[in-house]
Amino acid sequence: MIPDEVVEQVADAADIVAIVGEHVRLKRTGNSWRGPCPFHGGKGPNFSVQPGKGYKCFVCGESGSVFTFLQKHLGLSFVEAVKQVGERVGVEVREVSRARDDEPDWRAPHWELHAAAAEWFTRILWEDPRGAVAREYLAGRGIGRAEGERFGLGYAPREIGAMRQHLASLGMGVERQLESGLLVRRDEAEEPRPRFRERLMIPILDVQGHHVGFGGRLLGPGEPKYLNSADSPVFSKGKLLYLLHAARPAIRKHGRAIVVEGYFDAIRLHLAGIEEAVAPMGTALTEEQAEALARLSPTVFLCYDADTAGQKATFRSGLELLRHGVAVRVVSFPEGEDPDSFVAAFGSPAEAQAAMARRLDEAVDLFERQVQLLAAHGYFGDLHRKRQAVDKLLPTIRACRDDVTRELYLARLADVTGVDRAALLRELDTPPRRPGAAPGPAAREVPPRDAPPPEAEFPDERGRERWTRGGRGRGGRDDAGWRSVRGRPTITAPGTKQVQDLLLVMVHARRFVEEIAETVVPEDLASVAGREVFLALVAEPEATVEDLAARLSPEAVDLLQDLLALEGAVGNPDLAKDRTMTYFRERRLKARMGQLQQALHATEDDGEKTALLAEIARLKRESTSIRSS
């Protein structure tokens, strides 16, 4: 909370004409300044600004103070607006909720550190020979230096100490780099090393424009292809949206937000002048991300890829947005296209904008898109399939917060199924059932043989289906496409007990997947199925069960099901993670010491023997340190 006297002091000192004039072309007319209204997109001089007072549009009726203007036009909170104006006029604004009024913002050192790292990554990309591979990659995507610098793109080189030493030379020491997550260290004996190496770096800014983290795209072989910053005091990927800080004015102006799947989808749309585009740093929107969009716009267009995973993410994101009262529309692209490739195919920004505008005009409501998919798969052709269709569409109606939209959805569902609206209302009030299951306690464990293909599945109220794509079941039985992930008390042997524990942690505590992948490699897992599950989780740590299963062989699906059934076996995830990673580090050290012992026996050179013995002794000390910790 900001004291009233401080708000009044900032308001008195603010030049509203200068501040509004940064966003609206104003001309003096008598005692006021006039220009086109930024809120309804007017072209005439109907928007009036009076010094020392406020603004008003004589067409749409929007009016308010300098703070109101920044709130509505930039999507700021009241506190953010007062602070921004305070910075301009030289009035220090502090919230009285702080323990001490003279404390600086505790986040500032983290912002400064990430901004310095971003500047260094950018210099490596464009001015250093080490950035050549990234420059070549960007050139292949039609992104030159001017475009890259607009989004702060950079490159993290392979050297372990280069970034650390540069930041330290600026007074930003190792401990500070470790706390912000730019450096990682598994134990005190290990040299700190950068989280990002040989990756194209995409800086992530918070909604106020502070540097808080990075997304890194691997440019060589390996996994994961994309690696985000780990959670830190200023970074939480479930709460941030890529480019939201830049998109807010356009979202406000156009009354819509466009959500795309990846960093380069968002970059491509911004380059084409479609600046209301944002991207989550996962797949589907989280509750916090949906809430942030709902504060800015009444309508959100979802532009995910057309593959199975993209459609799943579309419907999961759509439900989250509906819960926040947002109108959701789904945009479709030609087969094999995504927003990046679609927009890049046009020769000029004007052509790209026109083509994208047509796609947005053709977008359909989320509920209608679900109806279309179900109709395409024959769900309204017989009574049994209609029952399944109702089960699949009711979660969307339950999620809808807007009463009018809810009534429209009910009417549409009654129309396509022939079910009386009163019966649908009664069904809405009953606990959600698994799609396709018979009512009552005797629900079937396995869906019928005509269960839908993956692209016709929608998420339930929990946002997660409990069915995985099958294949050849145990004992050679055909499981008819879909199988429950519940129910097995034991696990098929994936290798050692430590490998089993490792996979259990990765499946049931996804937050540790990226950390584990930095220490463990697929070759550490003896079983082929175990390696498959490991790689699938590393590639998409937040993927739902069904998305993971879609990438796996039948044998790996069986293993995944067994791991899911052993959720209680994880115990304390933090301890289990530390224990299994210690095992793999020790095993790697022992293997390395074995190689050095063989080299020691094979050499007759005294100097080489001395070096080998010293290295073996160091590895023994490191092994002892790992065990003692």
* pLDDT tens digits, one per residue of 218-262: 998 877 888 899 888 899 888 999 999 999 888 988 889 999 999
Report the CATH architecture of 241-362: 3-Layer(aba) Sandwich (3.40)
Query: What is residue 189's predicted lDDT score, i.e. its pLDDT?
Result: 72
CA distance 307 to 338: 10
Q: Which residues pair with 365 in a beta bridge?
A: 329
Which residue bears the tokens 């807007």? 402
pLDDT higher than 50, residue 428: yes
CA distance 478 to 470: 8
Reported confidence tier of residue 328, pLDDT bands at 50, 70, 90: very high
C-beta atoms surrounding 327 within 10 Å: 17
* Nearest-10 Cα torsion for 447, 450, 454, 456: -110
Task: Compare 597 and 140 and report the one with higher pLDDT.
Answer: 140
Query: What is residue 145's predicted lDDT score, i.e. its pLDDT?
Result: 96
pTM (2 decimals)?
A: 0.62
What backbone torsions phi and psi does residue 614 show, to the nearest 5 degrees?
Answer: -65, -40
**Alpha helix ranges (H) inside 90-227:** 108-127, 132-140, 145-150, 162-169, 174-180
Task: Compare 509 and 36 and report the one with higher pLDDT.
Answer: 36
pLDDT in tens, 455-471: 455 654 433 333 333 33
CA distance 327 to 231: 31
Q: Which residues pair with 216 in a beta bridge?
A: 201, 227
Which residue bears the tokens 């960007």? 138
Question: What is the DSSP-derived secondary structure letter of residue 472?
Answer: B
CATH topology of domain 4-89: DNA Primase; Chain A (3.90.580)
What are the C-alpha distances in Å from 621 to residues 260, 592, 625, 626, 628? 49, 13, 6, 9, 10
pLDDT in tens, 265-306: 999 999 999 999 999 987 789 999 998 899 888 999 999 988
Query: What average pLDDT does the segment 183-193 reach?
Result: 83
- Sorted by where each begins, the domain ranges of the chain are 4-89, 108-228, 241-362, 369-439+448-461, 466-571, 577-628
Q: Which residues pair with 35 in a beta bridge?
A: 47
Q: Which residues pair with 214 in a beta bridge?
A: 203
The SS3 of residue 87 is: helix
108-228: in CATH 3.90.980.10: yes
Closest CA to 596 of 575, 622, 557, 625: 622
Closest CA to 453 of 393, 374, 395: 374
Query: What is residue 96's predicted lDDT score, i.e. its pLDDT?
Result: 57
What residues have CB less than 8 Å from 585, skipping those under 6 apart?
186, 519, 626
Query: What average pLDDT does the segment 388-402 reach?
Result: 93
Which amino acid is located at 397 in the chain? I
The SS3 of residue 213 is: strand
Query: What is residue 567's predicted lDDT score, i.e. its pLDDT?
Result: 63
Query: What is residue 152's predicted lDDT score, i.e. its pLDDT?
Result: 97
Query: What is residue 192's predicted lDDT score, i.e. its pLDDT?
Result: 92
* DSSP secondary structure, 325-372, as one string: T-EEEE----TT--HHHHHHTSSSHHHHHHHHHHHHHT-EEHHHHHHH
CA distance 619 to 614: 9
Query: What is residue 371's predicted lDDT score, i.e. its pLDDT?
Result: 96
CA distance 195 to 518: 9
Reported confidence tier of residue 199, pLDDT bands at 50, 70, 90: very high
Maximum average pLDDT range among 163-167, 177-181, 190-194 = 163-167
> pLDDT exceeding 70 applies to what percent of the chain?
86
pLDDT higher than 70, residue 496: no
